[in-house]
Amino acid sequence: MASKFSEFLQSKKIDPRRVLIASRQVERLRPEDRRIKLAQRAKGDDAPKKKSEPEAEPQPRRRSGRSVTEKLLREAAEGKPISGAAKTRLLRAVNRLLEQKKQDAVDLRALF
């Protein structure tokens, strides 16, 4: 039995191996991500925030540093349960491939 994810890859003619490569490119930590992590660690951002303390500026989205693995891709193709963070990583990789093919990006509900 094929899952919704594997059917989507087949309909868009996307090779699962390309999803692995695209995820590696999208999720790789860059120097600016490392600077943000270092600044948060130096600031002591682990302490709970007070509600009266307004947030100075919104933090930019950091890359996770964790790409899609073969095991995750296999479980997604089989239709096994996957965590939300893993689904998001798969979504970003697939959208990167669709962008390269000059196609519209999809949302999470289209894949899972």
Please list the rounded mean pLDDT of every run of 10 residues in the chain (112 residues).
90 96 93 88 71 59 84 95 94 96 95 91
What pLDDT is attached to residue 24?
A: 95
Burial 19-49 (b: 16+ CB within 10 A, else e): bbebbeebbeeeeebeeeeeeeeeeeeeeee
Q: Can you tell me the distance from the alpha carbon of 25 to that of 34, in angstroms, rounded to the nearest whole number?
A: 16
What pLDDT is attached to residue 51?
A: 59
Q: Can you tell me the distance from the alpha carbon of 5 to that of 45, in angstroms, rounded to the nearest whole number?
A: 37
